[in-house]
Amino acid sequence: MGNLTLPLPFDDDKPHEECAVFGVIGHPDAAALAALGLHALQHRGQEGSGIVTYDGKQFHSHKALGLVGDNFGDSDVIAKLPGNAAIGHNRYSTTGETVLRNVQPFFADFDFGGFAVCHNGNLTNSRQLRRELVRRGCIFQSTSDTETIIHLIAVSEQKSLVDRMVDALSQLVGTYSLAALANDSLIGIRDPFGVRPLVLGKLDDAWIFASETCALDIIGATYVRDVEPGELLVIDRDGLHSSRPFEEKPKRFCIFEYIYFARPDSEMEGSNVYAVRERIGRELAREAGVAADLVIPVPDSGVPAALGYAKESGIPYELGIIRNHYVGRTFIEPTDQIRNLGVKLKHNANRCTIQGKRVILVDDSIVRGTTSKKIVEMVRGAGATEVHMRIASPPTTHSCFYGVDTPERSKLLAANNSIAEMARIIGVDSLAFVSIAGVYRAVGGTPRSKDAPQFCDACFTGDYPIPLVDHDGGEMGKQLSFLKQLA
C-alpha cells in the first residue's frame, strides 16, 4: 500500500475560496500577529502560506506549502522574521500548480526599494496582460496571476509608488483585495466592485488589514471598518491616507461569502455571517416546508441554515451527522472497496438519532452532487424513512471566475439537470433550494434593484458583473452566448 495525497479540505464537492490576506504595521510582534491572523483565515486557503516582514532596513520572507500551524508554529521561524510590519497570505491553488514558487506574498526589488504584495481574487485579463508583458521582456517566476501586478508596477513610468500602483491596477480587470508592504508603508486596496472582502482593524498603535474580522478577533484587534470598494489605503508613520483613484463601479460583494466561504463568526459588509446564514435557513423553511420529524445539518457549513430552518418550521433540530475534523492530508491508499466508503472519512450518520425518522437534510450548496448522494445513502442506511434535502443557496448553475474555485459548468449538477432530475440523482424524496430573492432578503438586499445593496450572484444567475476578458471563445464563450440567448 502506498500513500494517497488528498486535497485539503478533503472535499472536492464544495467550491473553495482561493486566498486570504493579512497585513500589520506598527507592532513589534508583526510576524507573530500575521501568523495568528493567517491561522484564523485558514479556511480560505490550505495549500500554502507565507509572511514577509520589514525591519526598517531589509525585508524577510518565509513561505511554505501546507498549513499555517505547520509553517509558522515554530518560534524559530517567527524569530527569523523581525520588524514591525508584515503581510501574509494563505493560498488555495486552483490550477494544480501546488508549488512553492506560487506561494505568496510575492516580493520584488524596485528602484524605489523593496515591495511585497499578496492577493485575494482573480484577474480575468491576466493572460492577456501577461502575454503583453512577456513581449516587453518581463520574465515571470510563477504561474500566478498576482505576479502580473508586480510587473505592471515595474514597467510603469509614473514616479511615486502609489502612482505606479494606480497605473498598474487601472489595467486590471477582475477582482482583487490586496495587502502590500513597501519599506515604511502598508497598503490595502479593494477592487472597484468590492467583490472580495478586506477589513481594517486597530491594535494599540498598530493598523491591521485582514480578509475577515475573525483574524482581528484572534489577535485582540478592534474592527474599524471595511476597506471600501475602489479604495486605496496607505498607512505610514504619518497615519492613514485614503484615496479612490479608480473609476467608480456598482458595488458587487460576493454573495457566496455569506452562504459558505466566510467563517460564521466574521462580520462582512455590516452583517454577521452566522446571522445571515440562519436567516437564509428561515427563508428556506418559509419557501420550501415539508412534513418531517427532524432537521439535520450537513456539518459544518449547513449548521446555521439548519438551525434557522428548524426555528422557523418548529421541527426539532438534531445532530444526525457527525463530522470528523481530523481528516489528514495523506491517507493510506484505499482498495476499491475502501475507496467506496469515501464520504465516511469525513461524515458519519448518528443512527440512534435518525432511525425510523423522516429527516430534512440542510446543506449550504450542491456543486457536483457527489457528496450529497453519498450522504443521502448514508442517512438512509442509518434507518431514515424519508430524506428531504433543502439547500441554503439557489442552484449553482455557473462557474466562478472571480477568485473561487468551482468546477466548469459541465460538471455542475444544477447546470445540466432540472431540480426533479437532481432529486433522482441524489436519491432524495424531495429537493428544494432557497430562491435568489430569499437570499437577498436574508442579506438585506433586493435582486436587480438600483436602490438596495447589490451583490455578485453570477454562480446562481450567470450575470457576471465584470468582463471575462481571457475567456472569449473558450468555455466562458459558451456561457456568455448562453446568457445572450437568455437576454
Nearer to ligand SF4, 276 or 458 (CB): 458
- End-to-end CA, the chain: 54
Nearest to 180 by CA among 128, 227, 141, 124: 227
Q: Is 19 a catalytic residue?
A: yes
CB atoms within 10 A of CB 239: 8
User: What's the closest the beta carbon of residue 44 comes to ligand SF4, in angstroms?
Assistant: 13
Between 315 and 459, CB nearer to ligand SF4: 459
Task: Output 277 or 357, the one with its CB closest to ligand SF4.
Answer: 277
Q: Please, what is the minimum distance in Å from the beta carbon of residue 175 to ligand SF4? A: 7
Q: Which 3-state string (H, E, C) describes 13-39?
A: CCCEECEEEEEEECCCCHHHHHHHHHH
Decide whether 165 or 255 has the Cβ nearer to ligand SF4: 255
Residue 47 or residue 457: which is nearer to ligand SF4 going by CB? 457
Q: Which is nearer to ligand SF4, 305 or 458 (CB)?
A: 458
List residues binding ligand SF4 (CB under 6 A).
195, 254-256, 400, 402, 404, 456-459
Q: Please, what is the minimum distance in Å from the beta carbon of residue 256 to ligand SF4?
A: 4
Dist. CA 482–CA 487, nearest whole Å: 9
- Nearer to ligand SF4 by Cβ, of 188 and 197: the residue is 197
CB of 149 to ligand SF4, least distance (A): 19
Distance CA 369, CA 416 (A): 12
Q: To which residue does cell 506598527 refer?
A: 26
Which lies closer to ligand SF4 via its Cβ, residue 361 or residue 404?
404
Q: How near is the Cβ of 464 to ligand SF4 at its closest, in Å?
A: 7
- Catalytic member of 19, 118, 254, 459: 19
Q: What are phi and psi of 325, to 5 degrees?
A: -85, 0
In the complex, minimum distance from the CB of residue 234 to ligand SF4, in angstroms, rounded to a whole number:
27
To the nearest whole angstrom, how small is the minimum distance from the Cβ of residue 365 to ligand SF4? 10
**How far lies 229's CA from each of 23, 147, 176, in Å?**
18, 22, 10
SS (H, E, C) 346-401: CEEECHHHHCCCEEEEEECCCCCCHHHHHHHHHHHHCCCCEEEEEECCCCCCCCCC
Which residues are catalytic, by number? 19
